[in-house]
Amino acid sequence: MAHSAVSTTNSPAIAPISLSALAPWAVFVGILMLVLLYFVGAEQGATAVFEGETIHEWLHDGRHLLGFPCH
């Protein structure tokens, strides 16, 4: 059965990825990606982890064009 999917256009039902396999990845990668989004979108704007304005100024055009509220 596993080898019958070669020439069919109707793909067989795909087994879902079990939640226990997905959960650690969801937590780890989810947090990592949200931190990344924070630095792209809001660091040295609404709040700041690092002092100064360099991050804000470096990402200035991207923030405006991506739709983040900026100064």
Partner 1 sequence: MTSTSPGGVSPRTLLVRGMLAGLLAGVAAFLVAYLLGESKVDAAIAIEEAAAAGHDHGEEAPVSRALQATAGLGTGVVLYAVALGGIAALVFCFALGRIGRFGPRATAALVTGGLYVTVTLVPFFKYPANPPAVGDPETAARRTALYLLMIALSVLLAAGALILGRRLAPRLGNWNASVVAGAAFALVIGISYAVLPGIDEVPAGFPAALIWDFRLASLAIQTALWTTFGLAFGFLAERALVPTSTPKEAVQPTS
Contacts to partner 1 by CB under 8 A: 5-7, 11, 13-19, 21-22, 25-26, 29-30, 32-34, 36-37, 39-42, 45-47, 52-54, 57-71
C-beta atoms surrounding 44 within 10 Å: 19
Shortest distance, position 24 Cβ to partner 1, whole Å: 9
- The CB-of-59 to partner 1 minimum distance in angstroms stands at 4
Please state, in angstroms and rounded to a whole number, the distance separating the CA atoms of residues 30 and 38.
12
**Distance (Å, whole) CA 41 – CA 68:** 6
Q: Which is nearer to partner 1, 26 or 49 (CB)?
A: 26
Distance CA 68, CA 71 (A): 10
- In the complex, the smallest distance separating the C-beta of residue 70 from partner 1, rounded to whole angstroms, is 7
